[in-house]
Amino acid sequence: MLRKALLFIGLAFPSLAADVLLFSFFRGNGETGLYLAESADGLRWRALHGDRPLLTPRVGESKLMRDPSIARGPDGVFHMVWTTSWRGATLGYASSRDLRVWSEQKTIPCVTEALNCWAPEVFYDETTKDFVVVWASTVPGRFPETAGQGAKDYNHRLYIVRTKDFATFTPAKLFYEPGFQVIDGALFRRAGKYWMVAKNETERPPAKHLFLTSANSLDGPWSPPSAPISGPQWAEGASPIRIGSHWYIYFDKYRDKKYGAVRSKDLQSWEDVTDSIAMPDGVRHGTVFRAPEGVVRGLR
């Protein structure tokens, strides 16, 4: 009955229709492209578009579409960034008004000398009226004090570019250096501050957990990392969102091959709600965001 009521409201009064929770994700190695799921409560998720990919990858060194991150701009346009390859210096980008018809895919600046550009997250900064793209890269020769503490020859830190139109970008620069290897930075705003959930990527000794940090400005300084919020190890790809009175953080429990989530009212005390989560099969590292009911109706 609730969905029928929302559908009627969306048809009769589009501006009054409530936004719907969506989740972007990939499967396998990212070779098949973008998938979407919807939820009414943030716990039970149902695949959209017949559980088929909405967009297949065309750009980048390996033409993959891993870690798809989507954010809606103030004009209603959805912007998506993704990982195109395990090794290389490109990120993928495309935009859409309805999540069905997408712009031509292109690559956006990363770090020219980087070994890799992983898991970009796109965030619209209402304070500066531009988009921020954060990702993890290993740049050979940088941060020798933590060399050898990650997998293979990786030694990650977080980097950033800003853009207003995804046509011109600020130069890529170092964004977050906590003194250890770090990936998967996802930004959000609360109480006038910037917050970020990220993954400690240290493998020797193993960390591999999610933590929070905050700052008054994206230029820092950032607070010390919090205690692990995802359990002791083996979580990545966090996505934060406010649902009702709680902040939810979803993440990929990649060794267990399932998705997990924690929630909090104050960003201090966390409740594990993993056992209440129901996701489509094979879900990998994605982003929770909101879209108008009219847009989602076209995906069902």
Task: Residue 81: give its domain's CATH number.
Answer: 2.115.10.20
Residue 13 lies in a domain: no
- Confidence label for 2 from pLDDT (cuts 50, 70 and 90): very low
Prediction pTM value: 0.93
Owner of token pair 């033409």: 63
Residue 36 lies in a domain: yes
- 5 pLDDT exceeds 50? no
Residue 66 lies in a domain: yes
pLDDT of residue 10: 41
Residue 2 lies in a domain: no
- Confidence label for 3 from pLDDT (cuts 50, 70 and 90): very low
Spatial distance between the Cα atoms of 198 and 239, rounded to a whole number of angstroms? 9
Residues in contact with 82: Cβ distance below 8 Å, sequence separation at least 6, in sequence order: 26, 30, 34, 57, 64, 65, 66, 67, 68, 69, 91, 92, 93, 120
- Confidence label for 13 from pLDDT (cuts 50, 70 and 90): very low
In this predicted model, what pLDDT tens digit does every residue of 25-47 receive, in sequence order?
999 999 999 999 999 999 999 99
> Domain span at residue 195?
19-297
- 7 pLDDT exceeds 90? no
Mean pLDDT score across all residues of the chain = 94
Residue 289 lies in a domain: yes
158, 164, 168, 172 alpha-carbon torsion, rounded to 10°: -10
- 16 pLDDT exceeds 70? no
Mean pLDDT of 43-52: 98
- Confidence label for 109 from pLDDT (cuts 50, 70 and 90): confident
Owner of token pair 């501006």: 15
Residue 3 lies in a domain: no
| Nearest residue to 117 via CA among 158, 152, 89, 140 | 89
In this predicted model, what pLDDT tens digit does every residue of 128-180 receive, in sequence order?
999 999 999 999 999 999 999 999 999 999 999 999 999 999 999 999 999 99
In this predicted model, what pLDDT tens digit does every residue of 68-98 receive, in sequence order?
999 999 999 999 999 999 999 999 999 999 9
Spatial distance between the Cα atoms of 224 and 237, rounded to a whole number of angstroms? 20
Spatial distance between the Cα atoms of 228 and 225, rounded to a whole number of angstroms? 9
Residue 45 lies in a domain: yes
DSSP string, 243-287: ETTEEEEEEEETTTTEEEEEEESSSSS-EE-GGG-B--TT-EEEE
Residue 224 lies in a domain: yes
- 19 pLDDT exceeds 80? yes
Our count of domains for the chain comes to 1
